[in-house]
Amino acid sequence: MELMAFWRRVDIQGHDACRLSHRNSKWVLNGAAVYLENQTITSVNYQVVCDPGWTTKSAVISGWSGQKELNIEIARETNGRWRCNGVDIDPVFGSLDVDLGFTPATNTCAIRRLNLDVHQKEETTAAWLDTSDWTLKPLEQYYCRRSQTTYEYGSPAHGFQAQLTTDRFGLVKEYPGYWASDE
C-alpha cells in the first residue's frame, strides 16, 4: 500500500512531498520539504518509521536550514525513552508520537494511532522537533474527531487550534493557515 501527498505552504513560500507506505509490518513516511521562512531557506528530507499500531519508532531528518547543516536521528525505545543523535531527551519520555514541526505528515501518524470515533477527543504529548532551534521538546496536544475526515487539532500551551482535513485513510490533506494539498 502506498499513498502520496503534495502540499503547498499557504503562509510562506514552500512545498512538501510525502509518500506513506506499509513495509515489513511497519508504516513509513518519506518526504522532502523546501520552504522560506524569516529570510531562511530550508531544505530537508525526512523519514519516519512507525510500528503496526502507529507508535513512532524513529525519525531521520537531513538537509539544511540557512547555514545550519541538519543531520538528526531520533529514536524511541520500547521503554518510552527517546534519543536524539544518541542523547537521551528526558522531557519527552513516554511520548508515542514524533511531531516534525515542518510537515503535516506526522499528524497522520497520531491520527491513525489514536483511531478516534467521531466526537471522541484525546490528549497526548508528542516529541516535537521545534524548527526554531531544531531541538526535541514535549508538545501537549489534542485531537478531536469531528467527522470521518475532519479533526480538531490543538496545542493549548501555544494557544493553537486548527481543523485538519484528511482523506479516508487519515492522511492530512488540509492544515488551515499552513498547508494545502496541491493534488
Check pLDDT > 90 for residue 122.
yes
Length of the chain equals 183
List, for residues 133-142, the tens digit of each pLDDT value.
999 999 999 9
In the block, cell 503496526 appears at 52
Q: Among candidates 59, 58, 124, which has minimal Cα distance to 95?
A: 124
**DSSP state letters, 34-61:** EEEETTEEEEEEEEEEE-TT--EEEEEE
CB-count exposure of residue 13 (10 Å: 0-12, 13-18, 19+): exposed
pLDDT of amino acid 1: 83
Check pLDDT > 90 for residue 182.
no
List, for residues 15-35, the tens digit of each pLDDT value.
999 999 999 999 999 999 999
Please state whether the predicted TM-score (pTM) of the whole model is above 0.75: yes
Mean pLDDT of the chain, nearest integer: 96
Catalogue the long-range contacts made by 60-63 (C-beta closer than 8 Å, 24 or more residues apart): 61/100, 61/129
Q: Give Rg (Cα) of the chain.
A: 15
Q: Which helix (H) or strand (E) holds 155?
A: strand 150-155
